[in-house]
Structure 1
Amino acid sequence: MGHHTFDAAKADRLEGPERYRRVSAEELLGALSLDGTETVIDVGSGTGFYTDDVAVAAGRVLAVDVQPAMHAFYSEKGIPDNVSPVTAVADALPLTDGSVEAAFSTMTYHEFATAGALAELARVLAPGGRLVAADWSGDGAGDAGPPVAERYTPAEVRDQLSEAGLTLERLEERPETFLFVATVPGV
């Protein structure tokens, strides 16, 4: 897979409401199933577009991105009080074991989803914790988003989650994207 990151110089392109055509805020929040007290990680948070949607429903959100320039863009836009930017790669999160109740990724799974990153997410999620991701599908036509060769197919996602010890609860395949919900065993 390509595992490239989005060009931070084009961050403003990530701010349009057309992003909700791929996954709506309501769909994301429904999949996360938050009660308002949880600590949640946004993996590949970028400009904070979806982070802001989750922040209103969570106790605390850690906006994880590898690019400090994305955090700078988000800071200029205005970061909610319960959101903390964290500059880190997904396979080396500066968090303790089982310290978060949920994690999500919107259209960035293809950028970080290695065996190490998924194992790291499983490590920091508490038993019963949820991992939710919507991303571009390797089974898609490639008319939008990253090149098809840089994406994962739903079958590959199933295998990756299983290998990381996560339980796949739901996987929805769409014409160009997919959405999944996986949990950490133990509750």
Structure 2
Amino acid sequence: MGHHTFDADRADDLERPDRYRYLSAEELLWALDLDGAATVADLGSGTGFYTDDVATHAETVYAVDIQEAMHEYYRAKGLPESVELVTSGVEELPFETDQLDAAFSTMTYHEFASDEAIAEVNRVLAPGSRLVIADWAATGEGESGPPLSERYTAEDAVEMLRSHGFSIGHEAVRPETFFLVVTV
């Protein structure tokens, strides 16, 4: 499967408001169900498009991306006060065990999906915490996003998450994407 990263030279493409047709800011915030004191991680934050939407609803949002070029773009765009940049892969997150109140991944699950990464996310989320995933579906037509061969089905994602101790609270399959809300 995939495990590629988005080309940082195309970072401007991540700032287009039409991305909300796949996941609205309101839907993401509903799924995260944050209080203002939450500590959250955006896994695969890129330019911070969705990070910005969450930043005013949490005390701290860690924008986690493996590409320093994406952080440079985000810095140039302007960081909200509550956002801290973290350059890391999801397999080795630099957080304490049970440190996070929530985490989310918007169109990046296919880039890091592995047993190591999912176990690591479970480690850093506090018991009862939510993980929200919206990603390109292997059942889609490929109108946007990565090639179909690099995508996962919702069923594959659910199976992997369950095998690492997550409980599925909400699952939706859409024409090009899937949307999951799970808890530790």
Distance apart, 1:158 and its partner CA: 1.2
CA drift at 1:108: 0.6
- What is residue 123 of structure 2 aligned with on the other side? 123
What is the deviation of 1:163? 1.1
Name the counterpart of 1:43: 43
Determine the structure 2 residue equivalent to 1:7. Answer: 7
Mapped pair 1:80 → 2:100: no
User: Structure 2 matches for 1:1-187, cutoff 5 A?
Assistant: 1-184=1-184
Q: What is the TM-score normalised by the length of structure 1?
A: 0.97
Output one character per residue of 1:114-173: Cα deviation in whole Å (capped at 9) or x when no partner: 111010000000000100010100111112110011000011011111111111111101
Structure 2 counterpart SS, 1:129: strand
Structure 2 gaps, min length 5: none
* Structure 2 Cα separation of the partners of residues 178 and 160 of structure 1: 15
Q: Percent identity, please.
A: 58
Aligned structure 1 segments of 4 or more residues deviating by more than 4 angstroms = none
Supply the distance in 2 between the matched residues of 1:118 and 1:160 (Cα, whole angstroms).
Answer: 8
Separation in 2 of the partners of 1:14 and 1:175? Answer: 20
Between the aligned partners of 2:158 and 2:72, the Cα distance in structure 1 is 34
Task: Name structure 1 gaps, 5 residues minimum.
Answer: none
Give the letter aligned to residue 165 of structure 2: G
- Partners of 1:71 and 1:64 in 2: CA distance: 9
Task: Tell me, in whole angstroms, the C-alpha distance in 1 between the residues paired with 2:160 and 2:126.
Answer: 19
TM score, norm. by length of structure 2: 0.99
Which amino acid counterpart does residue 33 of structure 1 have in structure 2? D
Rounded to whole Å, the distance in 2 between the matches of 1:164 and 1:115 is 8
CA distance in 2, matches of 1:49, 1:154: 23
Q: 1:19 and 1:56 mapped to 2: Cα distance?
A: 20
Number of positions where the alignment pairs a residue of Structure 1 with one of Structure 2: 184
- Alpha-carbon shift at residue 60 of structure 1 (Å): 0.5
Shift of the alpha carbon at 1:107?
0.6
SS at match of 2:92: coil
RMSD: 0.6
